[in-house]
Structure 1
Amino acid sequence: MSCPNTSPTMHGATCIREGAGKRAFLTRIAETAVALALLCFLPLPAGAQDAASILEKADTIRFPREPFQVEVAVTSSTASGEEYRKYRILSKGNENTIVQTVEPASERGQILLMKSRDLWVFLPSVSQPVRLSLAQRLTGQVANGDLARANFSGDYTPKLLRSEKIDGQEHQVMELTAVDRGVTYARVLLWVRSSNNAPHKAEFYSLSDKLLKTCIYDEYKTMGGKLRPTRLVMQDALKDGEQSVLQYSAMQLREIPDKVFDKEYLKKLQ
């Protein structure tokens, strides 16, 4: 700002005051701009950030981030007796999964293919694949999505509800809300051990908020280079005594070419 040299003293004082006022105004603008810029870099609220982080860590304990292969034996108990099935799973990320039926021999050659949230079943006796939903039952208490969709992260929005002690161990209880209707369950409650983020228990709910089944993550063993639950017990919440026990084994990290998850390529695997 410039002041006339010929101005009276009063005008000079006024000019100085105006200059100081403008400098203060510009300083306030600069401070506000800095504050707004810093807001862009502030972390998410602690609860939301912690829930997302805990869920992601729990997912990596359940299954590897790297492409992998694993065998799953499922024994289902119902009022009419027991049923046994065995599957081989090839998984690459959370978007590409193949579930091959190994036993019984009469169903060998049946293949589930998941790409993103699209799921098809290939049957040896049918020329074209059949579209399925992730929520549809595969066997016993096991839905298609229980085997075909590896992680909760991305499919659910997590929220920390409370802490609970189970057998003397502190656990975080999280509510997982489905991001859309295309996922396996509308809502999940997940208990995760506070000390190491290991999943302990889950409850699965329908769209009408009815408890469908519970799952216990058990028998932690080193598999695929990490301590993981190798036994899952899924109990029907609507029919007392009915359950499916999933036993995971022979996990190996391996390279899986993208072409393996192509519909045309799957015909070679049947």
Structure 2
Amino acid sequence: MNSLEEYGKKAKVASRILAGVTVDRKNEALNQAADHLIRYQERILEENHKDVEAARNAGVKGALLDRLMLNEGRIASMAEGLRQIAVLEDPVGEVLWMKQRPNGLLIGQQRVPLGVVGVIYEARPNVTADVAGLCLKTGNAAILRGGREAIFSNKAIVECLQVALEKTGLPKDSIQLITDTSRESAQALMRMNQYLDVLIPRGGAGLIKSVVENSTVPVIETGTGNCHVYIDNPSDLKMGIDIIVNAKTHRPGVCNAAETLLVHKDMAEIFLP
């Protein structure tokens, strides 16, 4: 059995346990994970510094370098994101609809965990915490494969998350990081039908296209950005300006930063310079 199969085997075992975990325990693990990110932020920043320096030496700059960089504020945002996931309603077990057939048979739709979720993403360490938190909340085990540029940061973050899992009595293998960042490891992950229930690519158009075209595992295809802001007629101009500035300048390099501004024709003379 190769190393990726080991990841898959452990994730399958963990997923069966997670499927039956109460929402209180999942929320406790999420809050513990948030606390651990803050508690061990110095170590995370030290590891992130290694990634950033290596990227600089490789000629990476601008938005790509910004996505890779962490600081105390960004780690605090990661922790807050986990806490926000903890306060969400538990989706597992929710009955969306139910109806009875004339013969008495009940037919309905209920939310259940998928099982093992694989995620391939690029050099954004905050995605590691986001994805792990969402998978945990929904009762799924996660196998993460981040970009090689963020390997030290990702390892430090996952270690914090795994400590939190163990402290709350959940299997640490609920969240695993593939440390082999070669192209071959990504290609092998795309063919792990025996272990993965779904694969999600998150990143640029090239990455998403590669996964969609080459994966034999079911894929949830994500978008690449091009977020729009629309100024309607009528609208609050001050609010519109505040939203536009925040949507573009908060973090210009991320995929959900605003890239297109649309203005109603009757507002154009008032709103546009």
The two structures have a TM-score, normalised by structure 1, of 0.25
Greater relative contact order (Cα < 8 A, sep 6+):
2
Higher Cα radius of gyration? 1
